[in-house]
Each structure stands twice: as C-alpha cells, then as structure tokens.
Chains A and B, each alone.
Chain A
Amino acid sequence: DVKVTQSSRYLVKRTGEKVFLECVQDMDHENMFWYRQDPGLGLRLIYFSYDVKMKEKGDIPEGYSVSREKKERFSLILESASTNQTSMYLCASRTLRRGTYNEQFFGPGTRLTVL
C-alpha cells in the first residue's frame, strides 16, 4: 500500500512565525504536490515537484516556498505565517507511467491554525 505521511495532524502557530510542513512518501513516486483545502474553495494547488530538486508553482504559491532534497520528502514552508494561511494542508504523490491514469495518493492532512 502507498503511504503518504505528514509530520503533524494539527499545528498552531503565531503570525510571523516560520512554519515547516513535512511530507514523506514510501513508494518512490516521482511527483509530489502540496494543496490547501478551504470550505467553499475546494483543493487548490500550491506547489508541485516533478522530481528531486525540481519545483513548479501551482495556482496559489504566494506566501509559500517548497523544498525537495530527497525523492521521498517534500516540504512546504511558510516564511512568515499569516492568519489567512489558516487551512487544511494536504500532501499528495504519484508515479508516472505512460498510457494510463496515474492516481494521486493523499496524506491525512495537517490542520494549521495561525493566531
């Protein structure tokens, strides 16, 4: 079974703090993704990574950065947390095989509250 784990289920931080969210997958997947999920807005892509040391901006990258130094690990960084970054953060990974749909596997999510 594919397993995607996230470092924390719940996190409370103060405005201005630097926040690290960690994601690890154990299936040697090439692609990894960070989403945030908000009521009425659904899942929105923040950043994704095609492979190690590669990153691409998603739809809402402002205020975030990412790091992928190892294939299994993808980190989301909030350089200076703000209250509008209070959200559920979901990590996902997938492999890439030609000629077939490649499922994204999601972690359990981190609910971040910024006070």
Chain B
Amino acid sequence: QKEVEQDPGPLSVPEGAIVSLNCTYSNSAFQYFMWYRQYSRKGPELLMYTYSSGNKEDGRFTAQVDKSSKYISLFIRDSQPSDSATYLCAITPGTASKLTFGTGTRLQVTL
C-alpha cells in the first residue's frame, strides 16, 4: 500500500466552481499535511500546510485534515483559470523529516 494516495485526475471545472481535491494516507504517525501547487514547466510551491487535524483557510483555499479517517482535502472556492495547475498533497511526521508526496491531481479551470 502506498503511504499516500491521490486521484490523478485530470479534473476539469468551469470558472466559479468549488473544487475538492483529496488524498488518503496510511500511517497515523504523520502530523504535517501540505498542499503544493505546480504550474506547467515550474517547480512546486507551497500553498498551505496544516498541523494535526482541523481546518485552515487562506483566501479562496481551505485545507482540511481528518486524522481519524486519514483523509486530507483542499477546497478551492470561486475557482479561476489561474488555478489551473497540478496540486500535490504531501505529508511528513515532523518538521525535520522527509516529505512523502501524492502523485498530484491536474486541475483545469475553464472559462
């Protein structure tokens, strides 16, 4: 079993839609949960991170972690064409540990 599973998509939504991106993981030792965004031909960049369970909001983006079900989500409200990118979840047990990445979900927001 992979440590983290992510639906690869691609996911195509119209502008203004609410987008839900999800990952599941297998090891309960993971404490930090990240979402990276990667535009075409660029390196990933950190979008947001969450420590332990709960929600975190940053503008149109909300990250959610449910440790009881080992499920992490990223919600994008009022999606824009500029949100078109690959979104990677990443998990780690500690701040000095290695990251384990999901395979990434490719999102296309159409006009």
Residues of A within 8 A of B (CB): 4, 40-45, 48, 58, 90, 92, 96-109
Contacts and interface: CB of A to CB of B under 8 A. Distances in A.
A43 B3 CA distance: 13
Given A40-B8, A40-B103, A108 B98 contact: no
Interface of B: 6, 8, 32, 34, 41-46, 49, 51, 88, 95-96, 98-99, 101-104
A33 to B, nearest CB: 8
Contacts of B99: 45, 104
4 tightest CB-CB pairs across the interface, nearest first?
Answer: A106-B43, A42-B103, A43-B101, A42-B101
A112 to B, nearest CB: 14
Contact of A90 (B34, B44, B46): B44
Contacts, number: 49
25 contacts: A40-B8, A42-B101, A42-B103, A43-B88, A43-B101, A45-B99, A48-B98, A92-B43, A96-B95, A96-B96, A98-B95, A99-B95, A101-B51, A101-B95, A102-B95, A103-B46, A105-B45, A106-B43, A106-B45, A107-B43, A108-B42, A108-B43, A109-B41, A109-B42, A109-B43
Contact of B98 (A42, A45, A107): A45
